[in-house]
Chain A
Amino acid sequence: MRERIPSGFDPFVLPFLIGIGFVLLYCLLAAMRVLWQCPREDRRRFFLSLITPTTALRNLWDIFANCLIHVKLWKRNKLLGFMHSSIAFGWFMIILLGHLEVFLFVPHRLNLFYYPIFFNYFVAETDTSLRGAFLFFLMDFFLLLILIGIALAIIKRVRSRLFGMRRTTRLSFLDTVGLYSLWLIFPLRLLAESFTASISGGSFLVKPLNWLLEAVLGSQFLLNPANNLPTWWAYSIVLGIFMVVLPFTRYMHIPTEMMLIPMRNAGLRIRHARRGYALLEVYSCPGCGVCIDACPMSVKKANIKDCTVYLNRQIRRGNERRIEEISDKCLLCGKCTEVCQVGVEGPALRIFQRARRQYAVNPDYAAVNVAPPESAGKVLYFGGCMTALTPSIGRSMESVLGKLGIDYTWMDRDGGICCGRPMLQAGRFPQAAEMVRKNTELIKASGADTLLLSCPICYKMFRDHYKLPGIRVVHHTQYFEELRRSGVLKLSKSDLCYAYHDPCELGRGCGVYEEPRTLLGSAAYIVEAEKNRGESICCGGSLGSLSLGFQQREAMTRRALENLTVAGPDAIATACPLCRSTFARYSSIPVRDIAEVVDLSL
């Protein structure tokens, strides 16, 4: 082992040094800005979590699993997972092993940033020593892994379907620069190392390439600095370019996600669409485009640019007109968050974006006065606005409760106050809060101990945004399933075969997947939709969208129906009045709410 360059410096490291200096400074300032923008209590929470051992361990594990191994991508598609983890983990290992080499062979150079990166230029090590051979082998192994990953990435650009993706994002100019420089880094490293491999050593990858080059160009040619130095320059320049453009490309997700994970683990949530924690989510978006295929709106080509990946891009660019357009269009079905490997909360970002809007007219509900229902110690049934337009659900609820002899009061039979969720989703928080206040008073005054809901939109709202101590909030699928298990509700199984549609608010919104299925399964047969549970496709009727018109939604509903009926069911069952009436409009087979199915089998 000997150092080839006594000064330990060569000008070719400068592009790399400039790049890494820039990117580190940028990230430091950005992190400080995010922390500054967070409310004080959030900051406190975050710092506390960092010194809490369990959270700190969880952070490390999550960063390892998500940023390096990409566990969620593996679950989505093996090839896609392999591609990402080979590049991310391979690169990480090369950096780590580089430092190890410096630590082992030239510990006095540990203070030089660039030494681990360009180790093979500065240090000549024979691969005959045991630890040299082993480290060289590992270095070459991980370089090969990365190169395979890059090759897959190139194939993915052309044939994305192989990776389970129908559509990918269209890259911006800087993204393209970042992409090509990333692709070039590793082949150039391989080239540079193999030029100097006869001096610095190498393993199964670098050595044979070195022999090949020697055979073609001659060993004197390779040893001439005028010939081998440019390869190291090229490697350094490409690294430099990649790091300088990194903050302005989707690759910013690499450093951002490492901050997002601990902050999320600390329990921080979005409080403002464009500040603090929200920025971390926006910049953590790797722009992979998995959300494009997932988005129910993307059945129409015109809507592709309204998916969450493009929202993130526009927020980064500060294009206010597009941000507003994208925020208003979304159905808030939550599927993009479900499939997103970094967990960007598209719907929440949009709701908080909507909340920034100023209105000249602000409803106050001062005139709304509803007599409180009388329901002491009983079940209070809240049908919600949509149930008024789907009388079959209300009738079935009455019928089932009546047959079971359950003492109940229908709170909004003759009209009532909206639960407030549509207003909340429109971002008008003070108005929604006023409705919550009014309903809370009514429910508390009624003396009921259970609040029963047949609409998942209301259920989500009452569960998450109301404070009703001592009152159980329950969706009818859960309530009936509980009664069935306890033997009160006895169902006879019909021969009909249903496909069950998971309503967005009930499934992804509240995590209720099992109760509807077991309940339905004891009243009839079930077949699954092609995409189901967390990946079920929104019916298209969602109130979450503010700007989608009736005609624009038809294609989405038809696509969702197609997905539901792949297994050829006799009928469709769902547990939401809005999904029910939206599907019924275009479905060729009957669409029923679970309450109706239960009533038929009782």
Chain B
Amino acid sequence: MDFGFSLSPSSAIDLDKVDLSLYRRLEQTVPDIRSCIACGSCSATCMAADYSGMSVRKLILNLQRGADVKKMLSCCMLCGKCTMVCPRGINTRKLILDVCRYYSDNKL
């Protein structure tokens, strides 16, 4: 049916509709991800941040908000600097590997 106008898609996050299956799975394998305080230390120290926008903080946030995480992972070198600086002691390397492992394009 054509009303003669179209609705632009909303850019708001609708938490009711967010697919959290990947996040839920990671909560099991890396429980520390719940304790992120979004301080940004990981992103600031990251060597891949300049190339692919890698940021563990954003990775966790995007997983919780249903946004894509694949692109930022394309340059991660697993060097461990983010693990070193995290004030909450999150095992970021395990998180990254598990996201790479359980990621699936059709979900999220």
- The answer to A–B direct touch (Cβ < 8 A) is yes
Contact surface of A with B, Cβ cutoff 8 Å: 328, 357-369, 385-386, 388-389, 415-418, 420, 422-423, 426, 428, 431, 435, 543, 546-551, 581
Distance in angstroms between the alpha carbons of A363 and B52 in the assembled complex = 10
Contacts of B104 in A (CB 8 A): 360
23 chain-A/chain-B pairs, Cβ below 8 angstroms: A360-B103, A360-B105, A361-B70, A363-B76, A366-B74, A367-B52, A385-B47, A388-B45, A389-B84, A416-B47, A418-B47, A422-B77, A422-B79, A426-B93, A426-B97, A428-B78, A431-B77, A431-B78, A435-B77, A543-B93, A548-B91, A549-B89, A550-B89
Given A365-B75, A422-B80, 7 new contacts (CB under 8 A): A361-B74, A364-B74, A367-B74, A389-B84, A417-B47, A422-B93, A431-B78
In the complex, B36 has a CB within 8 A of chain A? no
Select one of A363, A389, A547 contacting B73, CB under 8 A. Answer: A363
**B81–A388 touching, CB < 8 Å:** yes
Chain B residue with the shortest CB-CB distance to A553: B89
Distance in angstroms between the alpha carbons of A375 and B47 in the assembled complex = 22
**A363–B77 touching, CB < 8 Å:** yes
Interface of B is mostly: helix
Contacts of B61 in A (CB 8 A): none
Most central of A360, A389, A423, A548 by chain B CB within 10 Å = A360
Distance in angstroms between the alpha carbons of A551 and B104 in the assembled complex = 31
Report the minimum CB–CB distance from A130 to chain B (whole Å). Answer: 72
Contacts of B50 in A (CB 8 A): 415
In the complex, B94 has a CB within 8 A of chain A? yes
Distance in angstroms between the alpha carbons of A363 and B76 in the assembled complex = 7
**B100–A360 touching, CB < 8 Å:** yes
Select one of A360, A389, A547 contacting B85, CB under 8 A. Answer: A389
Distance in angstroms between the alpha carbons of A255 and B97 in the assembled complex = 39
Report the minimum CB–CB distance from A561 to chain B (whole Å). Answer: 19
**B 27-50 binary contact with A (CB < 8 Å = 1; else 0):** 000001000000000000101101
**A422–B73 touching, CB < 8 Å:** no
Most central of B84, B86, B102 by chain A CB within 10 Å = B84
Contacts of A367 in B (CB 8 A): 51-52, 74-75
Chain B residue with the shortest CB-CB distance to A369: B51
Distance in angstroms between the alpha carbons of A428 and B105 in the assembled complex = 21
Chain B residue with the shortest CB-CB distance to A354: B97
In the complex, B99 has a CB within 8 A of chain A? yes
In the complex, B101 has a CB within 8 A of chain A? yes
Select one of B51, B73, B74, B91 contacting A550, CB under 8 A. Answer: B91
Distance in angstroms between the alpha carbons of A422 and B76 in the assembled complex = 11
Select one of A359, A366, A368, A385 contacting B80, CB under 8 A. Answer: A385
Q: Chain B: how many interface residues by the 8 Å CB criterion?
A: 34
Report the minimum CB–CB distance from A463 to chain B (whole Å). Answer: 18
**A420–B85 touching, CB < 8 Å:** no
Contacts of A546 in B (CB 8 A): 93-94, 97
Distance in angstroms between the alpha carbons of A460 and B2 in the assembled complex = 66
Distance in angstroms between the alpha carbons of A243 and B51 in the assembled complex = 61
Contacts of B97 in A (CB 8 A): 359, 426, 546
Distance in angstroms between the alpha carbons of A360 and B99 in the assembled complex = 8
**B51–A368 touching, CB < 8 Å:** yes
Report the minimum CB–CB distance from A462 to chain B (whole Å). Answer: 15
Report the minimum CB–CB distance from A461 to chain B (whole Å). Answer: 12
Chain B residue with the shortest CB-CB distance to A417: B77
Report the minimum CB–CB distance from B98 to chain A (whole Å). Answer: 9
Select one of A364, A418, A550 contacting B78, CB under 8 A. Answer: A418
- The 8 A-B pairs with the shortest beta carbon distances in the complex, nearest first, are A550-B89, A418-B77, A385-B79, A361-B100, A418-B79, A360-B103, A367-B51, A359-B100
**A361–B99 touching, CB < 8 Å:** yes
In B3-30, the 8 Å CB interface with A consists of none
**B48–A368 touching, CB < 8 Å:** yes
Report the minimum CB–CB distance from B34 to chain A (whole Å). Answer: 13
Report the minimum CB–CB distance from B19 to chain A (whole Å). Answer: 15
Chain B residue with the shortest CB-CB distance to A365: B75
Distance in angstroms between the alpha carbons of A363 and B78 in the assembled complex = 10
**B 46-75 binary contact with A (CB < 8 Å = 1; else 0):** 011011100000000000000000100111
Report the minimum CB–CB distance from B20 to chain A (whole Å). Answer: 17
Distance in angstroms between the alpha carbons of A363 and B45 in the assembled complex = 19
Distance in angstroms between the alpha carbons of A363 and B86 in the assembled complex = 22
Chain A residue with the shortest CB-CB distance to B46: A415
Task: Decide: A385 near B70, CB < 8 A? Known: A368-B48, A415-B47.
Answer: no
Report the minimum CB–CB distance from B68 to chain A (whole Å). Answer: 11
Contacts of A357 in B (CB 8 A): 101
Distance in angstroms between the alpha carbons of A423 and B48 in the assembled complex = 14
Task: Decide: A547 near B94, CB < 8 A? Known: A360-B100, A363-B75, A389-B45.
Answer: yes
Chain A residue with the shortest CB-CB distance to B81: A385
Contacts of B78 in A (CB 8 A): 418, 422-423, 426, 428, 431
Most central of B45, B94, B102, B104 by chain A CB within 10 Å = B94
Task: Decide: A361 near B84, CB < 8 A? Known: A366-B74, A418-B78, A549-B89.
Answer: no
**B80–A543 touching, CB < 8 Å:** yes
Report the minimum CB–CB distance from A180 to chain B (whole Å). Answer: 41
Contacts of A389 in B (CB 8 A): 45, 81, 84-85
Report the minimum CB–CB distance from B37 to chain A (whole Å). Answer: 15
Contacts of B105 in A (CB 8 A): 360
